[in-house]
Amino acid sequence: MKNYFISTEKSLLDTKKIWNLIKECFWSKNIPIEYVERFTLHSLCFGAYSIPTNELIGFGRVISDYTTYAYLCDVVIDQNYRRKGVGSLLISSIMNHPELAGLKTWSLRTTEEARKIYENHGFSISKELHTQLEINNLNIYSESFY
């Protein structure tokens, strides 16, 4: 993919652009920009950039102990660059990052629509769903307590 590159360099991240990309997604509807600033600080972040402008066109991040487990989240591609291979390049770059090599478990949550791209990278529906527990409040950013 000669028109794009992936980087973990935090100085290249455009927090406002990331916020604009994810604030309308179902998993982060109405997320405050301060939360985006905080999670970029505390996660291994991957930006997808257009060449030659270096414009951020995609984002994904990993929460991990760098030894056994990684949670892939907030993967999003600018609508103008979808279906051009950017998402696949981003996921491949994340999965092959040297700090994440040899992990026992990767996990993520996705939509039915996006599932195929992750399956192409080795993900599958968990056979052990009965062992997965969660607290899930997708409306948290719309509530008035923060």
Please write the tens of the pLDDT for every residue from 36-77. 999 999 999 999 999 999 999 999 999 999 999 999 999 999
pLDDT at 132: 75
pLDDT at 11: 96
Report the candidate in 62, 59, 33 with the shortest Cα–Cα distance to residue 47. 59
Please write the tens of the pLDDT for every residue from 110-132. 888 888 999 999 988 888 777 77
pLDDT at 145: 46
pLDDT at 143: 65
Average pLDDT of the residues of the chain: 90
The pTM (predicted TM-score) of the whole model is 0.88
The CATH superfamily assigned to 4-133 is Gcn5-related N-acetyltransferase (GNAT) (3.40.630.30)
Report the candidate in 110, 72, 112 with the shortest Cα–Cα distance to residue 92. 72
Provide mean pLDDT across the span 95-115.
92
pLDDT at 146: 45
**Does residue 140 have a pLDDT over 90?**
no
State the pairing for strand pair 44-50/4-7: antiparallel
Q: DSSP 3-state assignment of 127?
A: coil
Residue 144 confidence class, pLDDT cut points 50, 70, 90: low
